[in-house]
Chain A
Amino acid sequence: MKTWRYYWRNGDRRHVMLMGYLFICPVVIYSLVTAFVPMAVSFYLSFTRYNMLTPAKWVGLANYRTILFADDLFRTALRNTAQYAVEVLPANIILSLGLAVLVNRAIRGITLFRTAYYLPVVTSIIAASMIWLWIYQPDAGLLNLLLSRFFHLPPIDWLGNPRLALHSLVLMRVWKGVGWNMVLYLAGLQGIPGYLYEAAKIDGASPAQQFRAITWPMLKPVTYYIIIMGLISTFQTFGEIYAMTRGGPLDSTTTVGFLIYQRAFSYFEMGEASAIAFILFVIIFGLSLLNVKYFQYRG
């Protein structure tokens, strides 16, 4: 990293730096008040026993010790969460990029299709969960009805089978999230200058070659964004778990996000919940840093 002096000593660089600070100043102040301070408080609470009804009591590292060494459920939750992220992220990226390429054309009625793909994003998670509960219902659900009518399959208990439940939730999450990433990719595609493709065509590049040589590299910053956002949101997954499975059956869908909620607001163990949150933080932060290495771009 360049030193402070590097910027300060040169009049031009100093000016740019000061302008930079001015531009980010609102965001920094806002984050300080609404994010850093709550985070610091919660970090402090992770070393306490705190039920929100009586003052917090310092317990040192006890919460971390319990969670890391004597909490089977935490380990299960971590495994489930990782599994969930590993399935959701790639599926989401591939499908959303495909959709974006598909709708990135000025043909009649394209707005309608784009809106259709975006529809799941705007359906509130609670309402979406209720509809999917209906879809997945083993004996009257829409999905089983279709499968039995067209493929004569016996009813499948999508959420009741411990080996299937998490994957069923993945399917719903991809359905819900893919439209949003499509929009991002679409915005990214629109930003690729058309002359690049013209030049490639003149050179005789096939569409596949054009994609590999132009589209994918040009979309790298967007993909980076989608991966980081995806990591952060999938690792914190809570809404659909809460609404659909409550972590079951047999803890097969207990995620870390759900565990944190449960400890905090069902058991009133805010200290332990905070400790889990910070362990999760370290994991997400670490994974994000790994990504920075792969997606380094010229600043």
Chain B
Amino acid sequence: MKRILAVAVFSVLLLSMPVFAQKTTVTVWFAGTPQGFMDVINNELVPEFEAANPNIDLTVSFVPWGELSTKLATAFAGGVAPDVFMHGGAATAGFAASGRLEPLDSYLAGWPDAADFGATLESGLYKGKRYLVPMFGAGRLLVYRADFFREAGLDPAKPPTTWEELRAAATALAVKKDGRLVREGLDLPIAGIDAQQIWAGLLWQNGGDFFNEDSTKAVFNSPEGVAALEFLVGFIHKDGVTDTRYDVGQSTAPPPMALGKTAMFFAVPEELNQIKTYSPEVYKEVRVALPLKRKAQVTLYSFSGLFLSKDSKHKAQAWEAIKFFGSKSSLAKINASMGTLPPRKSLATADFIAHDPNIKAFVEGMQYGKPNPNIPTWVKCRDALSRYIEKAIFGQLSPKEALDQAAAEVDKILAQQ
């Protein structure tokens, strides 16, 4: 009897052993595949987290940006979505409206450190709830070449600050030979998301906006929006200081600024890094200006960060992971690895920023940043808008016609929701 009891007790103990040692696995999908970024996550942050949280196993993957939506959609459809995944702030509304995201407000309330993020937390705001912990950001600022400024008799220390100054500088900087533009005053993307983003900056500077208060109607065809598009198109058709070079594909190379084919363009930090790597001599002459000011001083800044899946079975542990990757030290490493903009205010003085005045200017510009509107059908609305902006740039439609037609189409999309 005693023996049976002993065996029973022993087997109960044995069976319960794995329960004590049970580890929770938290799956995290990061977006983007730069080697430096992956190295920091894999070799530094994950071991650090697992050492601090012995009961949590982190499984991380890196998904290329271009295929992020495809991968996430299949995973959600197949019921194998990760606990935590990264995406751009503009994706918040789509996933949240479908009920696939866990609102983070209550979690953030218990994280004293969260205040350090400031306004960047708003990137993941949808219907009054916050869903995103930002990891890194990018903004669009005017980038110019000091040597060309001097050549044109302009002061490189005084970049354009208003629309009028930008136009004057672009005209002065353009170089023509035999009636052909050999150096653009200002390089503008003529199609796609890039053109739409630059126009968005001008729209906001001019006091306009995309949608009405409750995002049910397009208002970007306001006089402010039309004036912004007229200003943009003017560089190409009126002033002739911008080429219609088509580049929306993967990665255009070489960048026109590195070749000396343009004096100014609106860049994101990644494009600057490319010039820095491949044309170090040119980079010495590259400067960054703060956003232009008209009715407001503003430009597009967007943040990507981590979302917590509603389907996650280990939300508490997943939140621990998010909190860890969102900590000051993690974000310093992540952003340094890619030269991206850290979302925490306290990181504005980090080493990798202080080293490069251009990145510093991008961080400084963050205070004028504004994210894309967060509506579930944003990508579709944005693409419709881009197509009409393109038509205006190619001269098929006048700016007013283009925006009116775009607004009609966007209204239809908004009505479908």
A and B touch in the complex (CB under 8 A): yes
**Which residues in A have some Cβ–Cβ distance to B below 8 Å?**
51-54, 126, 129-130, 133-134, 137-140, 154, 157, 159-160, 162, 165, 242-246, 248-251, 262, 264-268, 270
| With known contacts A52-B73, A130-B251, A265-B73, A246–B192 Cβ distance under 8 A | yes
Kindly report which residue of chain A lies nearest to residue B195, judged by CB atoms: A248
Say which residue of A129, A137, A154, A265 sits within 8 Å of B69 (CB atoms). Answer: A265
Q: What 0/1 readout, one digit per residue, does chain B (53-92) give for beta carbons within 8 Å of chain A?
A: 0000000000000100110011011000000000000000
**Which residues in B have some Cβ–Cβ distance to A below 8 Å?**
66, 69-70, 73-74, 76-77, 94-95, 98-100, 180, 190-192, 243-254, 256, 259, 261, 377, 379-380, 383, 387, 390-391, 394, 396
| With known contacts A129-B250, A157-B246, A243-B249, A52–B390 Cβ distance under 8 A | no
| With known contacts A53-B76, A134-B253, A157-B244, A266–B379 Cβ distance under 8 A | yes
Q: Which 6 A-B pairs have the closest CB atoms?
A: A160-B246, A53-B98, A52-B77, A52-B73, A244-B249, A265-B70
Q: List 12 A-B contacts (CB under 8 A).
A: A53-B98, A133-B251, A134-B253, A138-B246, A139-B256, A140-B261, A245-B248, A246-B192, A248-B191, A249-B390, A250-B390, A266-B380
Bound CA–CA A165/B191 (angstroms): 14
Kindly provide the distance from the CB of B401 to the nearest chain A CB, expressed in whole angstroms: 15
Kindly provide the distance from the CB of A259 to the nearest chain B CB, expressed in whole angstroms: 11
Bound CA–CA A262/B66 (angstroms): 12
Kindly provide the distance from the CB of B65 to the nearest chain A CB, expressed in whole angstroms: 13
Kindly report which residue of chain B lies nearest to residue A137, judged by CB atoms: B252
Q: Which residues of A contact B259 (CB under 8 A)?
A: 139-140
Say which residue of B74, B192, B250, B380 sits within 8 Å of A130 (CB atoms). Answer: B250
Kindly report which residue of chain A lies nearest to residue B67, judged by CB atoms: A265
Kindly report which residue of chain B lies nearest to residue A154, judged by CB atoms: B180
Q: Which residues of A contact B77 (CB under 8 A)?
A: 52-53
| With known contacts A54-B99, A139-B256, A140-B261, A246–B245 Cβ distance under 8 A | no
Establish whether residues B261 and A133, one from each chain, have CB atoms under 8 Å apart when the complex forms.
no
Q: Which residues of A contact B95 (CB under 8 A)?
A: 53
Q: Which residues of B contact A52 (CB under 8 A)?
A: 73-74, 76-77
Establish whether residues A126 and B379, one from each chain, have CB atoms under 8 Å apart when the complex forms.
no
Kindly report which residue of chain A lies nearest to residue B254, judged by CB atoms: A140
Establish whether residues A51 and B377, one from each chain, have CB atoms under 8 Å apart when the complex forms.
no
Q: Which residues of A contact B252 (CB under 8 A)?
A: 133, 137
Most interface-central of A129, A264, A268 (chain B CB within 10 A): A268
Say which residue of B70, B74, B243, B380 sits within 8 Å of A138 (CB atoms). Answer: B243
Establish whether residues A248 and B76, one from each chain, have CB atoms under 8 Å apart when the complex forms.
no
Say which residue of A140, A160, A243 sits within 8 Å of B250 (CB atoms). Answer: A243
Kindly report which residue of chain A lies nearest to residue B182, judged by CB atoms: A139
Q: Which residues of B contact A134 (CB under 8 A)?
A: 253-254
Bound CA–CA A262/B17 (angstroms): 51
Bound CA–CA A273/B252 (angstroms): 29
Bound CA–CA A139/B66 (angstroms): 27
Kindly provide the distance from the CB of A147 to the nearest chain B CB, expressed in whole angstroms: 15
Kindly provide the distance from the CB of B251 to the nearest chain A CB, expressed in whole angstroms: 7
Most interface-central of B249, B261, B383 (chain A CB within 10 A): B249
Establish whether residues A248 and B248, one from each chain, have CB atoms under 8 Å apart when the complex forms.
yes
Kindly report which residue of chain A lies nearest to residue B396, judged by CB atoms: A250
Establish whether residues B73 and A53, one from each chain, have CB atoms under 8 Å apart when the complex forms.
yes
Bound CA–CA A140/B69 (angstroms): 33
Most interface-central of B190, B245, B377 (chain A CB within 10 A): B245
Bound CA–CA A265/B94 (angstroms): 12
Kindly provide the distance from the CB of B372 to the nearest chain A CB, expressed in whole angstroms: 15
Kindly report which residue of chain A lies nearest to residue B193, judged by CB atoms: A246
| With known contacts A54-B99, A139-B259, A162-B394, A249–B250 Cβ distance under 8 A | no
Q: Which residues of A contact B100 (CB under 8 A)?
A: 53
Q: Which residues of A contact B66 (CB under 8 A)?
A: 242
Kindly report which residue of chain A lies nearest to residue B183, judged by CB atoms: A139
Kindly provide the distance from the CB of A190 to the nearest chain B CB, expressed in whole angstroms: 39
Kindly report which residue of chain A lies nearest to residue B380, judged by CB atoms: A267
Kindly provide the distance from the CB of B310 to the nearest chain A CB, expressed in whole angstroms: 10
Kindly report which residue of chain B lies nearest to residue A131, judged by CB atoms: B253
Establish whether residues B394 and A133, one from each chain, have CB atoms under 8 Å apart when the complex forms.
no
